[in-house]
Amino acid sequence: MNNRSLETEPLPTLMKQYAVPCVISLLVGALYNIVDQIFIANAPYLGSYGNAANTVVFPFTVIALAIAVMIGDGCGTFFSMSLGAEETEKAEKAVGSAVVMTVCMSLLLTAVFLIFKDRLLTFFGAGVNEQTFAYSREYFFWIVLGIPFYMFGQGLNPIIRSDGSPKHAMTAVLAGSLTNVVLDPLFIYTFHWGMSGAAAATVIGQIVTAVLTARYFLHMNHAHLTFRNLQFHPDFLRSCLPLGITSFLAQISLVASMAAVNRMTAYCSLLDPVFGNPQLSQIPIAVLGIVMKFFQIVISIVVGTAAGCAPIGAYNIGAQQYGRVRNLFLLLLKTEALVGLAAFLITELFPHQLIGIFGAGNESVHYTEFAVRAFRIYLFMIVPACVNKATFIFLQASGKAFLSSAVSMFREIVLGVALPILLPMKYGLDGILYSMPLADIITFAVTLVLIRQILQELDQKAMMKSKLSLSA
């Protein structure tokens, strides 16, 4: 698509063209870990122990994703703004810097994870019992080896979208995920490779995505990636990274929240009259991992929709089409609220069916009972949570990285860490369940103020531009 069409095409049409492939890309990316957990949960020889191990290891992939999307989303936004301002050379140098930085950071992160493996696993709750720790170590090793491929494929995906090829971005991730789906049952059920098999299937899928992503960068639509550009350009990194800092904080703060939830869940499980039994102590952490995986699916839709709209908004800001940006923001908010409403109805009405996907038939009745409560309570405020996330991303795409980062940190670090630590001290496992909806509704009060501020500012800029045009 010609990027000039971002100024002229109807906004619903553009949202469909850009957001749908982005949503599919993120959903497919999310399925890497979720598919593993589904197949693991339904393997009788792994069960909830394997589920718990999957939950423990999941934050490490989120850390990798946080760094990758900071680079990719930041560069993607800068790339779109540069094209809107007709500064192609800046766009090309930014892409080269993003590629080099993604590769270097992925290798460094892999080394750090492998060196501090046991300490990190213990910190994220693997010590709840011996079997969970053993499965966590097995799964962790192979997943970490795939981090360079994972970061390359996921981190550079936003740049492909900003280059006007959202379908290719979707195809690259989809091919990798389908590879994972095909290999998971083969490795887990046929070969009985257990956690290693699940991890190996994931890594092979990530390699497929990385190869297709690398291939695209040899033939970009609006830029030419040369060896001269494949180097660190400090000036452009300083311009790009702040635009991606909200994406980074949204992911890395989620890690902080997961660490708090996992540790307090492990602690409260040992004190619980039911889950204090060593043979049941892994269930709460396994269940909360499953609930968060469903939430990840919903948030992938929300973030994908907002991220798909980001190049549209960024381009029109660069072109000073402020009225168009305002209409795009309102359309985005309505769409995200509907996504949240659909998710709310599913979790409240069909929790038994949801938990059934993750091997509930192989577990004790306590597994199902706790899972139903977790779905209904933990995700009760999912509608405002969706609106919150969309607003943060729109602020980032508008160039307001600092404000977006500040509010995101308030939600994910201040509330997302403090509440899961404080509430369980009085209410045990129930305190952990209530921490999520309480954090979301408090944040929503702040978000409403931000929405009003964004709309007023866009109105003022549109009016000022109109006055300047008339005076000219």
Domain parsing of the chain, residue ranges: 9-471
Give which of 126, 153, 115, 133 is closest to 32, Cα–Cα. Answer: 153
pTM: 0.80
Radius of gyration of the chain (CA): 22
Across residues 10-19, what is the average pLDDT? 88
Distance CA 468, CA 465 (A): 5
- Residue 203 pLDDT > 90, yes or no? yes
Which amino acid appears at position 140 of this protein? F
Contact 389, 250 (CB under 8 A): yes
Sequence-distant (6+) residues with CB within 8 A of 58 are: 33, 258, 289, 292
Whole-angstrom distance between the N-terminal and C-terminal Cα of the chain? 33
| Residue 88: band (very low, low, confident or very high) from pLDDT cuts 50, 70, 90 | confident
pLDDT of the residue at 340? 97
pLDDT of the residue at 240? 82
User: Which range has the worst mean pLDDT, 251-255, 265-269, 347-351, 415-419?
Assistant: 251-255
pLDDT of the residue at 269? 93
Distance CA 37, CA 188 (A): 11
pLDDT of the residue at 394? 87
- Residue 354 pLDDT > 70, yes or no? yes
Which amino acid appears at position 449 of this protein? V
Sequence-distant (6+) residues with CB within 8 A of 217 are: 95, 99, 156, 225
pLDDT of the residue at 408? 82
- Residue 141 pLDDT > 90, yes or no? yes
Contact 314, 325 (CB under 8 A): no
- Looking at every residue in the chain, the average pLDDT score rounds to 89
pLDDT of the residue at 33? 67
- Residue 75 pLDDT > 60, yes or no? yes
pLDDT of the residue at 256? 87
pLDDT of the residue at 41? 86
Give which of 311, 221, 230 is closest to 14, Cα–Cα. Answer: 311
Across residues 120-143, what is the average pLDDT? 94
Which amino acid appears at position 451 of this protein? I
Sequence-distant (6+) residues with CB within 8 A of 453 are: none
Give pLDDT tens digits for 240-262. 888 887 678 767 877 888 899 99
Q: How far is CA 454 from CA 264, 303, 400, in A?
A: 37, 19, 10
For 108, half-sphere exposure in the C-beta direction (CA atoms, 13 angstrom radius) is: 9
Q: Which two tokens stand for residue 140?
A: 């962790």
- Residue 213 pLDDT > 80, yes or no? yes
| Residue 307: band (very low, low, confident or very high) from pLDDT cuts 50, 70, 90 | confident
Which one of 52-66, 331-345, 390-404 scores highest in mean pLDDT?
331-345
User: Which range has the worst mean pLDDT, 71-85, 94-108, 343-357, 432-446?
Assistant: 71-85
- Residue 295 pLDDT > 80, yes or no? yes
Give pLDDT tens digits for 275-288. 999 889 999 999 99
The 8-class DSSP code of residue 126 comes to G
Q: Which two tokens stand for residue 86?
A: 């007709």
pLDDT of the residue at 140? 97
| Residue 169: band (very low, low, confident or very high) from pLDDT cuts 50, 70, 90 | confident
pLDDT of the residue at 29? 65
pLDDT of the residue at 2? 53
pLDDT of the residue at 183? 96
pLDDT of the residue at 3? 64
- Residue 375 pLDDT > 70, yes or no? yes
Q: What percent of the chain has pLDDT over 90?
A: 53
Contact 193, 44 (CB under 8 A): no
Across residues 442-452, what is the average pLDDT? 95
Give pLDDT tens digits for 145-155. 999 999 999 89
